[in-house]
Amino acid sequence: MLIGASAEFGLNVMLRHLEGRGGHGPIVARSTVMAVALNGCLAMIEFGSLMIASNRGIFSLGLLLTIGAGCNLVASLVVLPVVLRLMSHRAGRRPARPLAAADQRRARLM
């Protein structure tokens, strides 16, 4: 379950990065970060609810899954954007060219 959740978090962050690659915006949109953070926190709460069991095996399973979900969340929201930023700098991503005078006039008319 943890591998699937972490793959989903990483996939969401990666797809959002690829969608916004051409602009001057952030590496990953804030809405995506908030959605992944909320989903990860809910997974941690769900797995953490196993820790109220009196059985030591279920308790330790809940603890392990909660720690794993937290690590997946940190990897998706902290490590992956840093790697994406390093890769985009290394690839020599050029900033978008400034608009020519005719393009600026046309943009104002629209």
pLDDT digits (tens, 9 = 90+) for 8-61: 999 999 888 888 776 666 778 888 899 999 999 999 999 999 999 999 999 999
Distance, CA of 54 to CA of 69 (rounded, Å): 22
Q: What is the CA angle 7-12-15, rounded to 5?
A: 115
pLDDT of residue 41: 94
pLDDT band at 72 (very low <50, low <70, confident <90, very high): very high
Q: Which two tokens mark 25?
A: 């915006």
Phi-psi region of 18 (alpha: psi -120 to 50; beta: other; left: phi over 0): alpha
pLDDT of residue 100: 56
Q: Looking at the predicted structure, is the pLDDT value of residue 108 above 50? A: yes
Secondary structure letter of residue 20 according to DSSP: T
Assessment of whether the complete model's pTM goes beyond 0.95 = no
